[in-house]
Amino acid sequence: MPPIIHAALSGFLLGASLIIAIGAQNAFILRQGLLRQHVFILSLICALADATLIALGVGGLGTLIAQAPALIKAVTIFGAVFLAAYSLIAFRRAMHPEVMKAAEGTAANLGAAVAACLAFTFLNPHVYLDTVVLLGSLSAQFQGAARFAYGAGAAVASFVWFFGLGYGARLLQPFFARPAAWRVLDVIIGVVMAALAISLMVSLF
């Protein structure tokens, strides 16, 4: 596999594994999708926010870390442990699935919906850990165009997820009314994160 394609695929898979989780931001986008209100602009805000933070991480933090091989190794280990922990959390959720219920009511207007979307996005500390720190730091294993491809792959994962969730919500409503559906989703997330954690550790040796 060409290095650039490998980097883009790695970024896409890692970005997807981190973003696909049951949380306030995804619940909000799902609710708006079910209500069919402001889906495009809200999905775009979430995706662009992720893309911006990923760019900052890949372009800044990744560059600094690339100058310290020992630090790269430490960050890779941290990333593997971090992903493994996420994997365990996903598997634990799969054992006790809960149905995500879209909040009742509607946004009064576009402004209110955008304000809520920005709050769900930037008031979540995990978004900075996942994008700037984790994704940005792990980009140090790639150089030049490959690093750009890695960041682009992670950003594309955000666009695919948010727009897919927003516009696909109306189709998913009957399916995700059952706890078993969330169990399947969490199992998939757990498997992907565990596989990525293993691959990071293997890359060290």
Q: Which residues contact 122 (CB under 8 A, 6 or more apart)?
A: 49
Q: What is the mean pLDDT of residues 177-182?
A: 77
Q: What is the mean pLDDT of residues 106-110?
A: 65
Residue 30 has a pLDDT of 81
Domain annotation covers residue 112: no
Regarding predicted confidence, which is higher, 68 or 94? 94
Regarding predicted confidence, which is higher, 72 or 33? 33
CA 19 to chain centre: 2
Domain annotation covers residue 42: no
For the chain, how many structural domains are there in total? 1
One-letter amino acid at 16 equals: A
Q: Which range, 4-13, 73-82, 144-153, 156-165, is most confident?
A: 156-165
Q: How far apart are CA 113 and CA 85, in angstroms?
A: 33
Number of H helices, E strands in the chain: 10, 0
Domain annotation covers residue 30: no
Domain annotation covers residue 108: no
Q: Please work out, in degrees rounded to the nearest 5, the angle formed at the alpha carbon of residue 48 by the alpha carbons of 42 and 50.
A: 105
Contact between 22 and 93 under an 8 Å Cβ cutoff? The reply is yes
Residue 65 has a pLDDT of 57
Q: Which range, 95-104, 105-114, 159-168, is most confident?
A: 159-168
Domain annotation covers residue 31: no
Whole-model pTM over 0.75: no
Residue 175 has a pLDDT of 78
Domain housing 154: 3-21+48-102+119-164+173-204
Q: What is the mean pLDDT of residues 92-113?
A: 66
Mean pLDDT (the chain) is 81
Is the predicted pLDDT of residue 100 greater than 60, yes or no?
A: no
Is the predicted pLDDT of residue 103 greater than 50, yes or no?
A: no
Residue 102 has a pLDDT of 43
Domain annotation covers residue 89: yes
Domain annotation covers residue 83: yes
Domain annotation covers residue 141: yes
